[in-house]
Amino acid sequence: MTGTIYDVIIIGGGQAALSAAYFLRRANLSYLLLDSETQPGGAWQHTWKSLSLFSPALWSSLPGVLMPGGQHYYPTRSETIQYLQEYEARYKFPIVRPVKVTAVQKQEDLFVLTTTAGDYVAKTVISATGIYSNPYTPDIPGSHTFQGTLLHAAQYISPEPFTGKRVAVVGEGNSGAQILAEISKVADTVWVTRKPPEFLPDDIDGKYLFDAATQQYEAQKQGKDYQRLSLGKIVVVPAVKEARERGVYENPLPPFDHFYEAGMGWNSGWKEPADAVIFCTGYKPALDHLKPLGIIQPDGRINTQGTRAIDTNGLWLMGYGSWTGFASATLIGVGRTARQTVAELTAFFGQPE
């Protein structure tokens, strides 16, 4: 155990953690970031190589530093990683890595964090581990009999291993559309979706969606009704537009009911062969380290008011989705969440905001 008792420990080193650190550096509080990664860049380091942002660079920035590229350029995965690395270096945040936090416990008024590098102690904790390390794959009967390859989008890196194969991509969201776009260039593909895919107009991007969602959020707070475009629709980034022109997204199949040795089966008797099935079916909050606190709900979440945990005094959560702050899982939205979180932290310690 270190001899230091920190005012704040941030668990994580990605975009949410860095945003919180940005505002904490202005507060008169001792703080530390514990990151399980070996180098800066957060979960972006584990995404597929061709991933691009859904928002132009100008609207994909953390507090204090604009993402290079302007208002019409969609940054790539590698550019986003570089941006986060340079952001961290610019502000010289106190980060220790690689350190994985395995358990958080409350002992009287202090948090004791059990980690792969010993115990750390803090008066307050910001959990910012995100969702990427906890992918969700539906439990479909017969998966153990399937002789092909099963993987989640979190494990997908590039299309080359699937060259010449028959590949099923499951999921009608942005990840499914982007992965299908590039795999379809080297493989025979089939798209499996719960409902017909919906594409946004070509001139609509993540910036527009964020603005529309913000208007809805503010309207709801005022008790007003507001209709907007669904965030679940697919953003037509250049790769998706090109795939759509090739007819890649036509005639998707409904969800299958079971696997068989050589592919997917439906209860109607229909079968589709597949060498590989890639699930683009989302993620759940990565909160195993908080299990000792006994506050995780059956749905895998924690009761919060904004980002503050209701059932454990001194705990905040950032970057897990709208339930931990509006748009807090996005580059464009996490800054507002971070600002509010740190304002609450300084008030917790009796400091003026």
**In the chain, where the domains are located:** 5-134+283-348, 149-199+234-279
Predicted confidence (pLDDT) at residue 220 exceeds the cutoff of 90: no
Residue 321 CA to residue 150 CA, distance in Å, equals 27
Helices (H) and strands (E) in the chain — how many of each? 6, 16
Higher pLDDT: 203 or 133? It is: 133
Fold of the 5-134+283-348 domain: FAD/NAD(P)-binding domain (3.50.50)
173-185 tens-digit pLDDT:
999 999 999 999 9
Question: Strand, helix or coil at 20?
Answer: helix
pLDDT at 73: 84
pLDDT band at 47 (very low <50, low <70, confident <90, very high): very high
pLDDT at 229: 47
Neighbouring CB atoms inside 10 A of 30's CB total 15
Predicted confidence (pLDDT) at residue 274 exceeds the cutoff of 50: yes
pLDDT at 236: 85
Beta-carbon contacts of residue 283 (< 8 Å; ≥ 6 apart): 131, 132, 134, 135, 136, 154
> Is CATH 3.40.350.10 what the domain over 149-199+234-279 is classified as, yes or no?
no
pLDDT band at 353 (very low <50, low <70, confident <90, very high): low
Residue 145 CA to residue 151 CA, distance in Å, equals 15
Q: pTM value?
A: 0.88
Beta-carbon contacts of residue 224 (< 8 Å; ≥ 6 apart): none
Question: Amino acid identity, residue 150?
Answer: L
pLDDT at 222: 60
pLDDT band at 103 (very low <50, low <70, confident <90, very high): very high
Predicted confidence (pLDDT) at residue 232 exceeds the cutoff of 60: no
Q: Do domains 5-134+283-348 and 149-199+234-279 have the same CATH topology?
A: yes
pLDDT at 71: 79
